[in-house]
Amino acid sequence: MHRRGFTITEALVAIVLTALVLSAAIPLISSTARKLYRARDHYAATMLALAHLERLRDVPYDQLPRVLTSEAHVRINDQGAPDQEGRFRRTTTALPDQPETGLTMVTVTVEIMDRKTGRFEGEQETMSYYLFTEYLKPLE
């Protein structure tokens, strides 16, 4: 009588070959996932910087220095709210008369925390805009 199916040897060979293929694919999948997380973090940092710049545009020019004094290395979450456990760190600066007299350069830098080490190690996004300060200063 002729039996149909696989022998134990054939099944073991199939399992070993499948394991080899999967073990070769794991580093590729892991690397791709890291790159996707990194790209997502840079996108989020860019959007956080742009959103903060938009909020700063509504601040009257004479109040800008007061607002910016609290903006050095603020930890924020994915929505831009202050959060001690946030994965981003925002710094905002305003340089009057830069790059020339009559302009103020406002810069927002959002640093990205390294997912592996939990530290801020240089990955960041920076956005700037210029205010025409000649027109924004109060009349004397």
Instruction: Convert the pLDDT of each residue in 119-140 to its tens digit.
Output: 999 899 999 988 877 655 555 5
22: its two tokens: 């999967």
What does pTM read for this prediction?
Answer: 0.74
Instruction: Report DSSP letters for 55-106, one per residue.
Output: HHHTS-GGGHHHHHTT-SSEEE-TTS-B-TT-SEEEEEEEEET-SSTTEEEE
Domain ranges of the chain: 8-136
pLDDT tens for 15-57 read: 999 999 989 899 999 999 999 999 999 999 999 999 999 988 8
Confidence of residue 102 (pLDDT cuts 50, 70, 90): confident
> In this structure, what are the phi and psi dihedrals at residue 118, rounded to the nearest 5 degrees?
75, 15
Closest listed residue to residue 90, CA positions, set 137, 132, 48: 48
pLDDT at 134: 63
